A and B are shown apart, each in its own frame.
Chain A
Amino acid sequence: MIQLQGINKSYKVAKRQTGLKQAAKALFYREHTTIEALKDVTFEITQGEIVGYIGPNGAGKSTTIKIMSGILVPDTGTCTIMGYTPWKDRAAYVKNIGVVFGHRSQLWWDVPVIDSFELLKDIYKIPQQDYQTTKNLLIETLELQEIINSPVRQLSLGQRMRCEIAASLLHSPKILFLDEPTIGLDAVSKIAVRQFIKTINKEKGVTIILTTHDMNDIEALADRVILIGKGSLLYDGQLGELKKQYATQKTITADYQKNSTPLQIPGTQTLSWTPERAIITVDTDVTSTSEVITQLSNIVELKDVAIEAQPIEDIIIQLYKEYQI
């Protein structure tokens, strides 16, 4: 469905100096630097997948999204989506995709949401009948009945995002690009948005590419993650694999009867220690959690033990560190 092969993209950026003297100099001469935004990016996405596309700011996420949505032309490389080259057959191609930019609105600010929908119907030339069915379905599943007649400026961020998503789906696209769809939303709205994304993926088979900084989004939605840093692909695979590979740390919190000697167990690190409680991390490459607990019970009289896996957030931070991005 989506194929990217050896995509490269670089930008020229003017250097900006500080200070009055430099500024005066820049009046006449300005230095340029070339930034390689994407280096040999290659991947393939099949229909019906939800792919989480992650990476720190400036890694090249939005450049990739822009190339895939036909906004930007890459320097080299090929990209085929549903048989189209996005930047060549722009008008024909974009009928098949929906794009949500999390921090920009596509709705007309001062008019009721429904008016925006009507206009989008004309822009996408959606047949009246299809429009009616899709609109009703979207209103129902996204619970828009109450807000559809209010001007956008009066909606809360969560309500607006729900309308944004509906607006990008009116023309029943096969692919949906979501650029930080949960940015700035409260917990309840985030869950509602995630739920909906899952539903349309399951029921309509819409392929979804999602960029986000919220790893909970990824965990809730994506089976597959693509990690990008400094323009290069660093990881592409199942989320579970990523966890298995990198989540080599578990945290154990143990409460026990008073004991005055600090714990010394091989393959672990003590994060905090009191005579009644210790928090230790276990490196599962060296030893196993059960082994550590056995050893613990030999040293102290255990009252309670809690084991926690490393949150995905930490794994990503660890990855960023590892790749120095």
Chain B
Amino acid sequence: MRVYHSVLKLRLLMGMQYRAAAIAGVATQFFWGFIIIMVFQAFYENAVTTPPISLKEIITYIWLQQAFLVFVTIWFRDNELFDLITSGNIAYELCRPCELYGFWYAKLLAQRLSSALLRCFPILIVAFFLPKPYDMTLPPSFTAFILFISSLILGLFLLVAVSMFMYISVFLTMSPTGSLLIFSVLGEFFAGLIIPVPLMPEWLQKIAYVLPFRWTADFPFRVYSGHIPQNDAIIGIVIQLAYILCLVWLGRLALNNILKKVVVQGG
């Protein structure tokens, strides 16, 4: 826990130092947000049938996506860990007196959280005060808000658990390129980053609902706007929990197994 705390503090400090980078990042995300919203606006204008999610809900969805981008993008990665694995310096890491899975998990979690903390507030605040129709709306009820916060935090835990598999796979491939590619292309698509999950064709939605990716971002964002009703949200949170437990257990098992082999091979 202390490790986690100091990594978080260090990251925040570093983020502050690079003021221009922070401002530039926020500006970029605003631009993206605007562009995507305008595209949807144009699509919705002459829609023949009523789409399964309203434009207002889409706009909120997109601003949340921009604010919590690091909760969606798997490619937000720690190259240090990749280097550690591919260079064989992992041996030093094994000398540390704590369990590797937990340590890495905490590190990755801290990185994403600090990055999100630096960026989400300016984006969210401005997004609320934008002129209509670009403005973000408040959640329909306080309960929805609480459900959103819980599902967002669980989503982050889940995403880190998923991304751990990317690092674990590098032990086998010894090059992060391939794993990164698969995880980011598939992961981001099924997390609703390219088009929101409700706008996908039925058959694709079915696939998205089975995979863990959409539970990290798509789910909490729609809980916020009330597109997912509260009862379903509670069920969803249980599913998130189940996913986290399952993936952490599997990841830990896989990592420990691989580490055993690494030790036997002598690095």
Interface residues of A (CB under 8 A from B): 16, 20, 23-24, 26-27
A20, B17: Cβ atoms closer than 8 Å: no
In the complex, the chain B residue whose C-beta lies closest to that of A18 is B13
Question: Closest chain A residue to B16 by CB distance?
Answer: A23
B19 pairs with A27, CB closer than 8 A: yes
CA distance in complex: A27, B17 (Å): 7
The answer to whether B16 and A16 have CB atoms under 8 Å apart is no
> Which positions in B face A, CB cutoff 8 Å?
9, 12-13, 16-17, 19, 22
Cα(A167)–Cα(B12), bound, Å: 45
Question: Which residues on B sit within 8 Å (CB–CB) of A20?
Answer: 9, 12-13, 16
Residue among B12, B13, B22 having the largest count of chain A Cβ atoms under 10 Å: B13
**How many CB-defined contacts (below 8 Å) exist between A and B?**
15
Interface of chain B: mostly helix, strand, loop or mixed:
helix
Q: How many angstroms between the C-alpha atoms of A16 and B22 in the bound complex? A: 17
Report the bound CA distance from A24 to B19 in whole Å: 9
In the complex, what's the smallest C-beta–C-beta distance from B11 to chain A, in angstroms? 11
Contacts of B13 in A (CB 8 A): 20, 23
A23 to B12, CA, bound (A): 10
Q: What separation, in Å, do the CA atoms of A24 and B16 have in the docked complex?
A: 6
Given A20-B12, A20-B16, A26-B17, 12 other A-B residues pairs in contact with their CB atoms under 8 A: A16-B17, A20-B9, A20-B13, A23-B13, A23-B16, A23-B17, A24-B16, A26-B16, A26-B19, A27-B16, A27-B19, A27-B22
Q: Which residues of A contact B16 (CB under 8 A)?
A: 20, 23-24, 26-27
Bound: A26/B21 CA distance, A: 13
- CB neighbours (8 Å) of B12 from chain A are 20
Point out the residues of chain A lying under 8 angstroms from B17, CB to CB. Answer: 16, 23, 26
A23 to B16, CA, bound (A): 6
- Residues in chain B near residue A24, CB distance under 8 A: 16
Residues of B within 8 A of A26 (CB): 16-17, 19
CA distance A219 to B224 in the complex (A): 74
- Complex Cα distance, B22 from A205, in Å, reads 54
Report the minimum CB–CB distance from B105 to chain A (whole Å). Answer: 25
Determine the residue in chain B with the shortest Cβ distance to A23.
B16
Question: Could you say which of A16, A23, A26 has the most chain B C-beta atoms within 10 Å of its C-beta?
Answer: A23
Assembled-state Cα–Cα distance A27/B9 (Å)? 17
Separation in Å of the B201 CB from the closest CB of chain A?
A: 45
Q: List 15 A-B contacts (CB under 8 A).
A: A16-B17, A20-B9, A20-B12, A20-B13, A20-B16, A23-B13, A23-B16, A23-B17, A24-B16, A26-B16, A26-B17, A26-B19, A27-B16, A27-B19, A27-B22
Determine the distance from Cα of A20 to Cα of B14 in the docked complex, in whole angstroms: 9
Residues of A with C-beta under 8 A to B22 = 27
Chain A's nearest CB lies how many Å from the CB of B161? 30
Nearest-neighbor residue (CB-CB) of B14 within chain A:
A23
Bound state CA distance, A182 and B12, in angstroms?
40
- Closest-CB distance, A272 to chain B (whole angstroms): 42
Q: How far is the CB of B9 from chain A (nearest CB, A)?
A: 8
A22–chain B nearest beta-carbon distance, Å: 9
How many Å lie between the Cα of A16 and that of B19 in the bound state? Answer: 12
Docked Cα-Cα span, A91 to B12, in Å, equals 45
Residue of A20, A24, A27 contacting most chain B CB atoms (<10 Å): A27
Q: How far is the CA of A23 from the CA of B13 in the complex (A)?
A: 7
Residue of A nearest to B15 (CB): A23
How far in angstroms is the closest Cβ of chain A from B206? Answer: 46
Question: Closest Cβ of chain B: how far from A27's Cβ, in Å?
Answer: 4
Complex alpha-carbon distance, A20 and B15, angstroms: 10
A19 to chain B, nearest CB (A): 8
Query: Shortest distance in angstroms between A153's beta carbon and chain B's nearest beta carbon?
Result: 15
* B-side contacts of A16, CB under 8 Å: 17
Report the minimal beta-carbon distance from A274 to chain B, rounded to whole angstroms: 45
CA distance A164 to B17 in the complex (A): 37
**In the complex, residue of chain B having the shortest beta-carbon distance to the beta carbon of A30:** B19
CB distance from B110 to the nearest CB of A (A): 15
A20 to B117, CA, bound (A): 14
A27 to B16, CA, bound (A): 7
In the complex, the chain B residue whose C-beta lies closest to that of A19 is B13
A8 CB, min distance to chain B CBs, angstroms: 30
Q: How distant is the Cα of A24 from the Cα of B13 in the complex, in angstroms?
A: 9
A27 CA to B12 CA, complexed, in Å: 13
Give A26 to B13 CA distance when docked, in angstroms: 11
Bound state CA distance, A24 and B22, in angstroms?
12
CA distance A149 to B235 in the complex (A): 65
CB distance from B19 to the nearest CB of A (A): 4
Q: CA of A26 to CA of B15 in the docked complex: distance in angstroms?
A: 12
Question: What's the Cα separation between A224 and B22 when bound, in Å?
Answer: 51
B19 contacts across to A, CB distance below 8 A: 26-27
- CB proximity of A314 to chain B, nearest CB, Å: 39
> What residue of chain A has the Cβ atom nearest to residue B19's Cβ?
A27
